């Protein structure tokens, strides 16, 4: 069964690049670019061996926001 993440709010300057990383951030996988929320995506299969993740969002001027997620 896929693990789904929904981002309900984004702040900063559009567009936003979305990454999912292991925790601590040693490996990050680019997910997509979006202009708005809500945004939903599935965690890539290669990352499903982890129980903790870091969601990383980078806006168009390089500001980075991270959030720790736990399954």
For residue 61, cis peptide bond before it (omega within 30 degrees of 0):
no
Asked whether the predicted pLDDT for residue 65 surpasses 70, the reply is: yes
> What is the set of domains in the chain, with CATH numbers?
4-70 (2.60.40)
User: Is residue 31 exposed (0-12), middle (13-18) or buried (19+ Cβ within 10 Å)?
Assistant: buried
- The pTM (predicted TM-score) of the whole model is 0.92
CB 44 within 8 A of CB 29: yes
* Residue of 21, 11, 6 whose CA lies nearest to 59: 11
User: CA-to-CA distance for 54 and 30, rounded, in angstroms?
Assistant: 12
pLDDT, tens digit, 9 for 90 and up, residues 10-39: 999 999 999 999 988 889 999 999 999 999
């Amino acid at each position: 069964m896929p693990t789904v993440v929904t981002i309900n709010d984004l702040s900063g300057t559009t567009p936003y690049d979305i990454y999912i990383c292991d925790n601590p951030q040693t490996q990050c996988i680019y997910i997509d670019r979006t202009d708005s929320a809500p945004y939903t995506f599935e965690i890539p299969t290669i990352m499903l061996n982890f129980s903790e993740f870091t969601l990383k969002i980078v806006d168009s001027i390089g500001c980075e926001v991270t959030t720790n997620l736990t399954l």
